[in-house]
Structure 1
Amino acid sequence: MTNWRAAVVGFLVITVLGAVGVVVPGLGQLAAGLIGGFVAGYMAGGSLGSGAWHGLLAGSLGGIAAAAILWLGLTVIGFVGGPVGAALGSLGGLVLAVSIVAFSMIVALESAVAGAIGAAVAGDEEPRRRTAAR
C-alpha cells in the first residue's frame, strides 16, 4: 500500500533541495533526487520494493508537476500571438511537457534506488514507530 505522506514529503524535499541546487546545476539536482528518495523510502520503511516505490513516486511527482506548469505557461503565452501563436505555443508546450515527463521518469530511477536504501536503513523499526504513535 502506498504511503502518500512519505511520497509527498520526499517530493517536497526534492523540490526544496532542487531549488537550492539550481546554483550548482547537475550536482545539486542529483543530490536532491537522492536525498528526497532516501527520505521517502525511510519514511515508508518496509521492504526494499516498498522503499523503491515510494522513492520513485517522490522523484516522478516533481517532473510531472513541472511539465504541467510549463505546458500551461507556454499555452498561455502562445495566446498572445493570436490563433497561430496559440496553436504553436500549445503544440510546443505539449511536446515539452511530454519530454519532461519522460525524462523525469528516467531520472526518478535514482530516487527509487535511494528509496530502497532508505527502507533498508529504516528496516522494520520505522513502520512500528509510526503505528505505535497513532
Structure 2
Amino acid sequence: MTNWRAVFIGFLVATVLGLFGLALPGIGQLAAGLIGGFAAGYIAGGGLGSGFWHGLLAGAFGGIFAGLLLAFVVGIAGWALGPVGGAISGAAGLGIFTVAVVVSVVMALESAIAGAIGGALNSGRAGRSEPQRY
C-alpha cells in the first residue's frame, strides 16, 4: 500500500532542494531528486521494493510539477506577446511537453533508486507510522 505521506514529504524535499539547487544547474537538481527519493523511501520503509515505489512516485510528482511550472511560464509569456506570441507559444508546446516528459522520467528514476536505498536502510519499519511496541 502506498504511504502518501512519505511520497508527499519526498516531493517537498526534492522541490525545496531543487529551488536551492538552481545555484548549481544540473547537479543541484540531481542531488535534490536523490535526497527527495531517499527521504520518501526511508519514511515509507519496508525494504527495496517499497522504497523504490515511494521514491518513484515522489520523483514523478516532482517532474510533473516542474513541467507544469515550465508550461505556465511559457504560456504567460505567449499571452503577453499577443497573437504572434500565442502562435509561437503553441508551437513551442510540443517541445515543452517533450522536455517535461524527459525531466519527469529522469527525476522519477533517480528518486526511485535513492528510495530503494532508503527503504532498505529502514526495512524493519514496513511503512508503519508509529513506533513498534514490544
TM class by shorter chain equals 0.7 to 0.9
Identical columns (%) = 54
Q: TM-score, normalised by structure 2?
A: 0.85
Q: After TM superposition, where is structure 1 displaced by more than 6 Å over at least 4 residues in a row?
A: none
Are the equivalent residues in 2 in contact too, given 1:70–1:97 (CA < 8 A)? no
For residue 45 of structure 1, what is the aligned residue in structure 2?
45
CA distance in structure 1 between the aligned counterparts of 2:40 and 2:131, rounded to whole angstroms: 17
Deviation string, structure 1 residues 7-32 (Cα, Å, up to 9, x no partner)? 11001111111111222223322221
Q: CA RMSD in A?
A: 2.1
Q: TM-score, normalised by structure 1?
A: 0.85
For residue 92 of structure 1, what is the aligned residue in structure 2?
92
Shift of 1:94: 4.2
For residue 120 of structure 2, what is the aligned residue in structure 1?
120
Shift of 1:129: 5.2
Pair 1:111-2:106 in alignment = no
Aligned length: 133
| Structure 2: unaligned runs, 5 residues or longer | none
Change (3 A) 1:130 1:74: same
CA distance in structure 2 between the aligned counterparts of 1:21 and 1:68, rounded to whole angstroms: 19
Aligned residue type for 2:85: G
Are the equivalent residues in 2 in contact too, given 1:9–1:40 (CA < 8 A)? yes
Are the equivalent residues in 1 in contact too, given 2:47–2:121 (CA < 8 A)? no
Change (3 A) 1:78 1:40: same
Question: Normalized per residue, which structure has more helix?
Answer: 1
